[in-house]
């Protein structure tokens, strides 16, 4: 193997398998931090000053750290979302960013559907009756949920994950599908009979609204008080996208005054959700701890794709799934590294 392969300095943050670490070690020196703690943060900063590449999950890469990491050329995030990364600064520096789409699509759609079911049928609330010894009589109307099958499912953002949620609804639960998207999705319309709507119309017509848009400037508080005011009083809101797509204070107010029926939330404006958040205690809200992609199989596949992206970028074969592929074209240092 060319000697230059061994010279890369790679910082890995987040648990990787032994094989994945071995694969990274075959092309360079790996500074491995299974977790960042107060004890190892100094070592992490020192490693970043030498790093050519960074791989990890929720990478705490702000502009200050980027300034320290003067040699950095590749960031491989173990997530599909990259809203936690300072993309403008990374692009300015010509740093290649890779992410992990596709491998988490079906699992995240499963999570969304778990929230649809739990929210419509009040699964957590009613399971707690049993757990807490409060199931003392046949269920009465005050405990009834609402159906899932046959209800209209509104997908806000019919990208990869949104389409997978739509498929579950249409094929599994006979739900008419409405969607928003930047452009029409002929395949979804053909396969599922899905119909495109503008956001306000979708919100007004759907019984279950699922959010699956990326978080960016134009989706910040996309669901605000005004948007919530379009929803049916009988409708549920499901969010597996990013917390800041929803104005949480407006959502709490809407849930309290019965403007919408319920919410199923996997993501929050602040994560972990502070224990004092009203959302954690409301009976008509199901909260899960950002577990969208959190299965053994999917997290392993995400880590593997991130490792493959990083190795592809550093060894000249090219990354599989880059966010800013143009950087790859522009930076001969990476392409011609071998
Ligand atoms: C991860 C996610 O849970 O991929 C994403 O964008 O939100 C989740 O799959 C998270 O980012 C941890 O890496």
What's the whole-number average pLDDT of the chain? 95
**Quick check: 35 pLDDT over 70?**
yes
Instruction: Give the neighbor-by-neighbor strand order of the sheet with 28-33.
Output: 28-33, 8-13, 53-56, 74-77, 96-98
CA 271/CA 212 separation, integer angstroms: 18
The residues annotated as belonging to the active site are 242, 271, 290
Average of per-residue pLDDT across 307-311: 97
H helix or E strand, kind and range, residue 270: none
| C-alpha 266 – ligand 1 centre gap (Å) | 11
Nearest to 192 by CA among 180, 206, 178: 178
Decide which of 230 and 1 is more confident: 230
Residue 314 CA, chain-centre distance (Å), reads 26
CATH topology of domain 105-287: Rossmann fold (3.40.50)
Q: Is the CB of 56 under 6 A from ligand 1?
A: no
Q: Is the CB of 293 under 6 A from ligand 1?
A: yes
What percent of the chain clears pLDDT 90, i.e. is strictly above it? 90
Query: Are 3-102+296-337 and 105-287 in the same CATH fold?
Result: yes
Q: How confident is the model at residue 3 (pLDDT cuts 50, 70, 90)?
A: very low
Decide which of 116 and 3 is more confident: 116
Q: How confident is the model at residue 329 (pLDDT cuts 50, 70, 90)?
A: confident
Are the C-beta atoms of residues 78 and 54 closer than 8 Å to each other?
Answer: no
Q: What is the pLDDT of residues 175-226, one digit of tens each?
A: 999 999 999 999 999 999 999 999 999 999 999 999 999 999 999 999 999 9
Half-sphere exposure (CA, 13 Å, Cβ side) for 318?
A: 10
Q: Which CATH class is domain 3-102+296-337?
A: alpha beta
Q: Where along the chain do its domains lie?
A: 3-102+296-337, 105-287
Decide which of 129 and 60 is more confident: 129
**Quick check: 333 pLDDT over 70?**
no
Sign of CA dihedral 259, 260, 264, 269: negative
Half-sphere exposure (CA, 13 Å, Cβ side) for 206?
A: 34
Are the C-beta atoms of residues 10 and 55 closer than 8 Å to each other?
Answer: yes
pLDDT at 58: 80
| C-alpha 81 – ligand 1 centre gap (Å) | 6
């Amino acid at each position: 193997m060319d000697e230059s392969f061994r010279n890369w300095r790679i910082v890995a943050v987040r648990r990787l398998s032994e094989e994945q670490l071995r694969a990274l070690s075959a092309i360079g020196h790996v500074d491995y931090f299974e977790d960042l703690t107060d004890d190892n943060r100094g070592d992490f900063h020192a490693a970043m000053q030498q790093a050519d590449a960074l791989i990890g999950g929720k990478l705490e890469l702000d502009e200050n750290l980027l300034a320290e990491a003067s040699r950095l050329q590749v960031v491989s995030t173990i997530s599909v979302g990259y809203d936690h990364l300072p993309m403008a600064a990374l692009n300015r520096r010509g740093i290649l960013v890779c992410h992990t789409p596709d491998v988490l699509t079906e699992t995240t759609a499963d999570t969304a559907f778990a929230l649809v079911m739990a929210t419509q049928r009040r699964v957590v609330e009613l399971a707690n009756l049993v757990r807490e010894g409060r199931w003392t009589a046949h269920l009465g109307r005050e405990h009834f949920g609402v159906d899932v099958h046959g209800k209209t499912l509104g997908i806000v953002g019919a990208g990869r994950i949104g389409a997978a949620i739509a498929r579950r609804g249409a094929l599994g639960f006979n739900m008419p599908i409405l969607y928003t998207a930047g452009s029409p999705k002929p395949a979804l319309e053909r396969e599922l009979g899905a119909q495109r709507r503008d956001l306000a119309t979708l919100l007004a017509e759907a019984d279950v609204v699922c959010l699956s848009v990326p978080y960016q400037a134009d989706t910040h508080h996309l669901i605000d008080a005004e948007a919530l005011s379009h929803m049916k009083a009988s409708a549920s809101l499901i969010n597996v996208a990013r917390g800041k797509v929803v104005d949480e204070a407006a959502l709490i107010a809407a849930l309290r005054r019965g403007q919408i029926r319920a919410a199923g939330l996997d993501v929050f404006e602040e994560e972990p959700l502070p224990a004092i958040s009203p959302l954690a205690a409301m009976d008509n809200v199901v909260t899960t701890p950002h577990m969208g992609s959190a299965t053994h199989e999917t997290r392993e596949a995400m880590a593997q794709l991130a490792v493959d992206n990083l190795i592809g970028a550093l060894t000249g074969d090219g990354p599989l799934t880059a966010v800013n592929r143009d950087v790859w074209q522009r930076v001969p240092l990476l392409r011609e590294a071998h």
